[in-house]
Each structure stands twice: as structure tokens, then as C-alpha cells.
């Protein structure tokens, strides 16, 4: 019997994640990668929550943000497990979640995003899973969560107890759902191997402050970007010449990595 992966959106959890990022937006999370600026929803949140930023629970969240990247706060929210440096975060968040001002904003966001391209997102996730092969994913289900108050071109993925979570900002529809594809591929990155010599020759040229200055992160990103190129070439039937050149600027060995990953992918499909 072929294993299947359930794909869905969980509205109540989506509301909690949107609430978290709504709070982060008013306590110092200003990252944005859209040349047109922040989304209408981010501006709405900042305007409507600006008067509560001095409340104790909100200032506590600000303190946690100063210690940890949003990924760690998000992971704690989804898993229920806090890293030592953010001990107490979940309690502070639950206090914030019950505030009338925050409930009003969360309700507005939920109504505005309830049916946002759900079918397109789920079809894309299913297409990626089918292309890579379900056995390459160490998850039994994938829950996708839309966060309109994140940066435009920003996403996260994590495996929490066999549940894969895909969290994505408002730019998810761009370039054939490329952001969704990228985050889904992160859920299978650990099932592919890479050339350690090539990885090392890249790693030694990166500083500890580099976004990919950790070997495991660098390896994962090479795998995901190689898979992304293969998916774009094979499934979307796109000319990836310019994409490869662009990727080489930050990942100089992407051509060789792509060839290796493609070989592994073919072997997976023939065994």
C-alpha cells in the first residue's frame, strides 16, 4: 500500500500564528523584502496595535524576539516546547492572545485571508510531494499556514512530531508558487546526501555571521535549491539557465549539486 500525506489548513492554528506575527510587527520585527513595501495587512496591524506596545506581556514578547529569531518562537508555538533562552514565551503569548485589542485584529485577519488561494497552495504541495516521492518525506501530513503579516517573500518549514508545517507570507503566489515549493522541499532535504568536499570548500569561505554559516543549514539549502531547479525544469518546463547563474552567485557549486541530487532522485523513482 502506497503511503499518502494529508494536506490541509488548520484555521485555529493559523489564527495563532497570525497573532504571533502581528505582535512581532509592533515589537521590532521590521524585515521586508518587497520593493513596494509592507503589505496592507502589516500596515493595518501596526496601526491598530500601536497603543498596546507598552503592556507587560507585549514587552515580554519583545524581549524574547531580541534573544531569538522568529523561527524559534514559531517552533515553540507549534511544538509547545521552549528553548531555554525563551523560557516563559508561551505563557506570555497566551496572555497576549486573549487581549481584546489583539482578538479584534486577529478576527479581521482571519476574515480577510480565510479562502486565500487554498486550492492553489494545496495543489502545489501535492505536486511537489508526488514529484519527489512520498517516501522522501518524513511526515505523515502537511499543514499550511498563511501569514499575511510576514515579509512578502518569506516562509518557514518545520517537522514537529511527524507533522510538516509550511508557513508563508503574502508573496506565495509569485513565480508559480515558488515560495511554497521551496518550503515543501525543506521537509525532505535530510533524505538526500551531498558531496562533503564541495560543501566544505564552500563553507570555509563563509563567516559565522553568514545566513548559511552553519554546515547543516548550508547543506539543506543546497539540496533544496537543487531540487527547486530540477522541479522548475522538469515540472514547470522552464528554461533554468538564468536561474542557475543567479544561484551560483551565492551557491557556487549548485550545478554539481544539482547533478548529484538529480541522480539520487532518479534512483529513488526506479527502486
Residue where one domain finishes, among candidates 166, 201, 226:
166
The pLDDT value recorded for residue 125 is 97
Range of the structural domain that residue 28 is part of: 6-166
Which residue positions in the chain have pLDDT lower than 50? 1
CA distance 209 to 87: 25
Residues 147 and 200 in one domain: no
Which pLDDT does position 257 carry in this prediction? Answer: 95
At residue 115, the pLDDT reads 57
Are 32 and 157 found together in one domain?
yes
Model pLDDT, residue 176: 83
pLDDT tens for 162-176 read 999 999 999 998 888
134 and 37 share a domain? yes
pLDDT tens readout for residues 216-270: 999 999 999 999 999 999 999 999 999 999 999 999 999 999 999 999 998 876 5
Amino acid at each position: 500500500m502506497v503511503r499518502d500525506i494529508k494536506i490541509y489548513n488548520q484555521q485555529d492554528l493559523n489564527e495563532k500564528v497570525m497573532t504571533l506575527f502581528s505582535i512581532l510587527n509592533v515589537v521590532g520585527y521590521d524585515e521586508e523584502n518587497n520593493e513596494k513595501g509592507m503589505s496592507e495587512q502589516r500596515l493595518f496591524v501596526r496601526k491598530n496595535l500601536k497603543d498596546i506596545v507598552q503592556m507587560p506581556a507585549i514587552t515580554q514578547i519583545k524581549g524574547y524576539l531580541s534573544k531569538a529569531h522568529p523561527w524559534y518562537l514559531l517552533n515553540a508555538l507549534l511544538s509547545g516546547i521552549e528553548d531555554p533562552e525563551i523560557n516563559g514565551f508561551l505563557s506570555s503569548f497566551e496572555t497576549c492572545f486573549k487581549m481584546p485589542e489583539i482578538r479584534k485584529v486577529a478576527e479581521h485577519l482571519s476574515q480577510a485571508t480565510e479562502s486565500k488561494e487554498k486550492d492553489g497552495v494545496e495543489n502545489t504541495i501535492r505536486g511537489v510531494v508526488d514529484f519527489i516521492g512520498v517516501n522522501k518525506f518524513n511526515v505523515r501530513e502537511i499543514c499550511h499556514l498563511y501569514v499575511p503579516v510576514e515579509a512578502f517573500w518569506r516562509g518557514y518549514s518545520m517537522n514537529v512530531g511527524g507533522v510538516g508545517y509550511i508557513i508563508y507570507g503574502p508573496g506565495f503566489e509569485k513565480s508559480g508558487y515558488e515560495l511554497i515549493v521551496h518550503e515543501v522541499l525543506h521537509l525532505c532535504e535530510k533524505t538526500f546526501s551531498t558531496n562533503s568536499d564541495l560543501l566544505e570548500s564552500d563553507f570555509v569561505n563563509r563567516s559565522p555571521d553568514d545566513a548559511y554559516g552553519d554546515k547543516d543549514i548550508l547543506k539543506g539549502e543546497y539540496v533544496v535549491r537543487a531540487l527547486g531547479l530540477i522541479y522548475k525544469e522538469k515540472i514547470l518546463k522552464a528554461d533554468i539557465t538564468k536561474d542557475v547563474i543567479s544561484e551560483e552567485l551565492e551557491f557556487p557549486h549548485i550545478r554539481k549539486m544539482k547533478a548529484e541530487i538529480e541522480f539520487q532522485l532518479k534512483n529513488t523513482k526506479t527502486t
